[in-house]
Structure 1
Amino acid sequence: MELKNERGEHDFLAACREGNTEAVQYFLELEGFDINKQFACEAYCEPVHGLFMAAAEGRVEVVQRLIAADADINQTSKGVTPLYVAAQNGHDKVVKTIVSTQGVSVNHTRCTGSTALFIACQEGYPDIVDMLLGAGADPT
């Protein structure tokens, strides 16, 4: 399956970034494909995983498929979880999807000490702040 990919990234990451659910499903159905593998990504200057990429870009349908396929909801890239990056970028539908997933760590702390709640407050996303608090995020 051909994907337009000028970024030098793996086609799976491109599919996640672009919200191409058909291509994502293609990879999920490949025998032996590791949904949690981190692939080289020039945009982030280090390897990232598909769920991180989809969350960063606000691709809620891809996020839902990856979660349904047992992607590691708490896996990090540069110490940042998919929840954190979705909150940072104001992707409220993605945040809602992630916080409703069993096992999500809403209080994961980056090495800088910030959390998804902190970044949502800092970036000025009150709806996301409310979702995170409703999901048990620690306001302290």
Structure 2
Amino acid sequence: MEVDVPKSQDLGKIMAGIQAQYDEMAENNREELDKYWCRQTEESTTVFTMQSTEIGAAERMLRELRCTVQSLDIDLDSMRYLKATLENSLREVDADGGAQQDPAAPGVRADPNPGREAPGPRARGPVEHQGRAGG
């Protein structure tokens, strides 16, 4: 009995062909993966650099704003002190009921001691000096 066997293909050649395809695909995948990771690394580095720059700018702005707030707090305290001083001066003037108004100049008080020399300039406190010096 004879069996008709078709020509057998060389299994070694088939296996070698499959191995070559596999190796080529594996190499292509490695190259694509390397490119992908390089792109990801570059993008991450770029984002990190930009965000670091932005953080630095924000920190500088925050320091400047803190200085501005501190300066404004000092100015506010100076203004409060000046207001209190002016209110006290106004109370003293209002409490000085003995002062007469000059009929020729309404709204201007006459000097209660006309024979006495006018007092010299009053010494200013440190806050008044600061306010006049542009602070």
TM over 0.5: no
Structure-2-length-normalised TM-score: 0.16
